């Protein structure tokens, strides 16, 4: 593999890489490649990182000679296409400036907060938008260069909303799917976007558009009708070139078997016991999130802190373990959040801790899947309190790991997962008193009640795994009629 580094170039990756011709009959396009660099002797190697999406798509990628297109995460570094654990990947380079404007700016300081109920103030900058458009075109060109005639291309998430339409213009023969992993905002918020029409048209370039929950699919179709005057009927829409597309909910899930197996492994079982011993508490409350302001960390820490200070949770027998993965650390709101919660935790531990123990154990790090599984196994109560979340996979991973049927899940009603995980202890994270009462119930309910609830959660999660999610989306995409040239078909009759 060859690579070259440039410190500053806005024309990075202008020529799409295409070593073998347009030969892939299945193409995944995502902002990130699912790879991690492993340093060896001499040349670096890359291997697939074990995320849920990769696990779901790996069999399809292998079977259909698929390719994954995405950014490998290092600004200014050019890599040739290569294979990671046997899967061909095509890296899309981003210069330092493009990372600032397209990734940190438009994607994560405009779209991310706006789509999450504006829980942080979205910033609108025309130069960010220009970069977003330019980079989306780069991804589209790359997909057009590797996709075989009639291939299926599956575009992922909010960073690439313009790709479906751009790709269709380049390659009308393709079958294009788009899945939004985060919430789609209600009309009143979406209207704020100065580039709202272009984004809607961009997504509607797909034959099938997937959302986490049905409400978001309805919002999207309604906006197509009201803002773009598209003809629509239920989940179908017709574009001006008389193509029919569909928008539907496909709630994403996790690789349940892999979590169960790992959780039952002797290493994890003994590590979970060790974690319990090390924490030395009767009750372990647990939180694990990317350090993101959408996750409701301030409210969660406030609620737990008050329970300790009011003596309703006893630090001698209860500990709150909060694991926070570093994320988007150059974006202002993320820096502010880290400062805020570290101050909050410091105050709580400073006033209620003893030499022997602190009520909150806080780790600002990412851990291996094995370690995380052991933490899930060790935890008596998992607290998941996003202010808004597309799905929240953590809420599904916990029941999958609680193979002994113990444990309790406290879950925000504003996570997509709350629609399925009805047996969770549901909270409104803005209501601190309500959250405190519910946390106490999750800690203190009789074991039989908790077991019954956990059984319900496990049933839901084990019967809807990530493979079912990918199969359902790809089957529906396959079933959609091929695009037809304008005036040569009868596709305009939606429904
Ligand atoms: P988001 O996609 O917004 O980060 P999710 O809860 O849907 O939120 O997914 C987060 C994923 O990251 C989960 O699969 C979870 O296991 C993983 N994860 C979160 N925090 C950590 C951590 N500290 N170490 C390792 N994995 C983590
Ligand atoms: C969320 C988004 C993903 C994103 C991930 C990590 O899950 O939906 O698209 O990849 O967060 O964020 P990052 O900015 O590190 O890619």
Q: Is the shortest distance between the CB of 393 and ligand 1 below 6 Å?
A: yes
Strands of the 318-325 sheet, one edge to the other: 360-364, 318-325, 283-290, 381-384, 408-412, 425-427
Ligand 2, atom 6: closest residue by C-alpha:
327
- Give the number of the ligand closest to the Cα of residue 156: 2
Same domain, 77 and 96: yes
User: What are phi and psi for residue 66, nearest 5 degrees?
Assistant: -80, 165
Cβ atoms 237, 198 nearer than 8 A: no
Whether residue 386 sits in one domain with residue 319: yes
Q: Given ligand 2 and candidates 100, 157, 180, which is best to mutate, with the most ligand atoms within 8 Å of its CB?
A: 157
- What whole-number distance in Å separates Cα of residue 66 and Cα of residue 379? 39
Clarify whether residues 194 and 266 are in a common domain.
no
- Helix then strand count (H, E) for the chain reads 17, 20
Confirm whether 30 is domain-assigned: yes
Is any ligand 1 atom within 6 A of the Cβ of residue 397? Answer: yes
Residue 226's pLDDT is 97
**Same domain, yes or no: 215 and 260:** no
Residue 140 lies in a domain: yes
Do 239 and 262 reside in the same domain of the chain?
no
The confidence score (pLDDT) of residue 20 equals: 62
Q: What is the pLDDT of residue 42?
A: 66
Considering the domain architecture, whether residues 437 and 314 belong to the same structural domain is answered as: yes
Instruction: Map residue 389 onto helix, strand or coil.
Output: strand
How far does the centroid of ligand 1 lie from the alpha carbon of residue 394, in Å?
Answer: 6
- Tell me, yes or no, whether 434 and 391 share the same domain: yes
Q: Establish if 11 belongs to a structural domain.
A: no
Whether residue 298 is found in the same domain as residue 399: yes
Identify the pLDDT of residue 472: 97
The values of phi and psi at residue 51, to 5°, are -85, 165
The residue from 182, 217, 249 where one domain ends is: 249
Please tell me whether residues 68 and 199 are part of one structural domain: yes
Q: Max alpha carbon distance in the chain (Å)? A: 78
Q: What is the pLDDT of residue 314?
A: 97
CATH number assigned to the domain comprising residue 428: 3.40.50.2000
Contact predicate 168/140, CB 8 Å: no
In this predicted structure, what is the pLDDT of residue 354? 93
Number of domains in the chain: 2
CA of 290 relative to ligand 2 center, distance in Å: 9
Cα 112 to ligand 2 centroid, rounded to whole Å: 10
314 and 202 within one domain: no
Indicate whether 263 belongs to any domain.
yes
Whether 195 and 299 map to the same domain: the answer is no
H helix or E strand, kind and range, residue 437: helix 432-444
Classify residue 17: in a domain, yes or no.
no
Rounded CA-CA distance 74/72 in Å is: 6
What is the rounded distance in angstroms from the CA atom of residue 262 to the CA atom of residue 273? Answer: 15
For residue 324, what are the domain limits?
A: 256-463
Q: 417: which DSSP letter?
A: G
Q: Is 350 helix (H, G, I), strand (E, B) or coil?
A: helix
Number of C-beta neighbours around residue 69 at 10 A: 31
Does residue 495 belong to any structural domain of this protein? no
Q: Is residue 7 a part of any domain in this protein? A: no
> Measured between alpha carbons, how far is 131 from 191 in angstroms, rounded to an integer?
21
Q: What is the DSSP string of 245-281?
A: EEEEE------HHHHHHHHHSHHHHHHHHHHHHHHT-
Q: Which of 231, 249, 267 is a domain's end point? A: 249
pLDDT tens digits for the chain (495 residues)?
545 444 333 444 446 777 666 789 999 999 999 998 888 766 778 888 877 788 888 888 888 889 999 999 999 999 999 999 889 999 999 999 999 999 999 999 999 999 999 999 999 999 999 999 999 999 999 999 999 999 999 999 999 999 999 999 999 999 999 999 999 999 999 999 999 999 999 999 999 999 999 999 999 999 999 999 999 999 999 999 999 999 999 999 999 999 999 999 999 999 999 999 999 999 999 999 999 999 999 999 999 999 999 999 999 999 999 999 999 999 999 999 999 999 999 999 999 999 989 999 999 999 999 999 999 999 999 999 999 999 999 999 999 999 999 999 999 999 999 999 999 999 999 999 999 999 999 999 999 999 999 999 999 999 999 999 999 999 999 998 765 544 443 333 343
Q: Residue 295: nearest ligand to its CA? A: 1
Q: Is residue 349 part of a domain?
A: yes
328 and 287, same domain (yes or no): yes
For residue 475, count other CB atoms closer than 10 A to its CB: 9
**pLDDT attached to residue 482:** 62
Q: Which of 347, 359, 348 is nearest to 317 (CA)?
A: 359
Single residue among 217, 249, 281 that ends a domain in this structure: 249
């Amino acid at each position: 593999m060859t690579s070259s580094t440039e410190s500053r170039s806005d024309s990075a990756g202008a020529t799409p890489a295409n070593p073998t011709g347009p030969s892939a009959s299945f193409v995944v396009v995502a902002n990130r490649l699912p790879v991690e660099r492993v340093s060896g002797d001499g040349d670096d190697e890359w291997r697939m990182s074990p995320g849920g999406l990769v696990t779901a798509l790996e069999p399809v990628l292998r079977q259909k000679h698929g390719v994954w297109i995405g950014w490998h995460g290092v600004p200014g570094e050019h890599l040739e296409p290569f294979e990671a654990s046997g899967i061909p990947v095509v890296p899309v380079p981003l210069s330092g400036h493009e990372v600032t404007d397209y990734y940190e700016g438009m994607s994560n300081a405009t779209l991310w907060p706006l789509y999450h109920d504006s829980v942080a103030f979205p910033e609108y900058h025309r130069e960010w938008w220009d970069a977003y458009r330019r980079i989306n075109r780069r991804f589209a060109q790359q997909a057009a260069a590797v996709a075989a005639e009639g291939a299926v291309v599956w575009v992922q998430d909010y960073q690439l909303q313009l790709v479906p339409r751009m790709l269709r213009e380049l390659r009308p023969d393709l079958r294009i799917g788009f899945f939004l992993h985060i919430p789609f905002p209600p009309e009143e918020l979406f209207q704020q976007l100065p580039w709202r029409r272009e984004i809607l048209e961009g997504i509607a370039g797909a034959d099938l558009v997937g959302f986490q929950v049905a409400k978001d699919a309805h919002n999207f179709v309604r906006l197509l009708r009201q803002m773009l005057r598209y003809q629509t009927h239920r989940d179908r829409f017709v574009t001006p070139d008389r193509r029919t597309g569909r928008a539907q909910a496909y709630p994403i899930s996790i690789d349940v078997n892999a979590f169960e197996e790992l959780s039952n492994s002797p290493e994890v079982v003994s590590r979970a016991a060790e974690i319990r011993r090390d924490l030395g508490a009767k009750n372990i409350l647990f939180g694990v999130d990317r350090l993101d302001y959408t996750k409701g960390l301030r409210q969660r820490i406030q609620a737990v802190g008050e329970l300790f200070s009011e003596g309703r949770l006893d630090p001698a027998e209860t500990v709150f373990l909060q694991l926070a993965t570093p994320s988007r650390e150059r974006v202002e709101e993320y820096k502010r959040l880290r400062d805020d919660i570290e101050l909050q935790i410091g105050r709580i531990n400073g006033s209620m801790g003893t030499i022997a123990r602190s009520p909150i154990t806080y780790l600002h790090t990412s851990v291996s899947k094995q370690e995380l599984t052991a933490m899930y196994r060790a935890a008596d109560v998992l607290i998941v309190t996003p202010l808004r979340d597309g799905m929240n996979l953590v809420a599904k991973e916990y029941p999958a790991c609680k193979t002994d049927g113990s444990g309790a899940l406290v879950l925000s009603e504003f996570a997509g997962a709350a629609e399925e995980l009805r047996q969770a202890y549901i909270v409104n994270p803005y209501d601190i008193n309500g959250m405190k009462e519910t946390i106490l119930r999750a800690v203190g309910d009789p074991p039989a009640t908790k077991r019954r609830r956990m059984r319900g959660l496990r049933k839901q999660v084990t019967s809807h795994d990530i493979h079912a999610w990918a199969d359902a989306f790809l089957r529906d995409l396959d079933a959609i009629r091929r695009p037809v040239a304008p005036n040569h078909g009868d596709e305009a009759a939606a429904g």
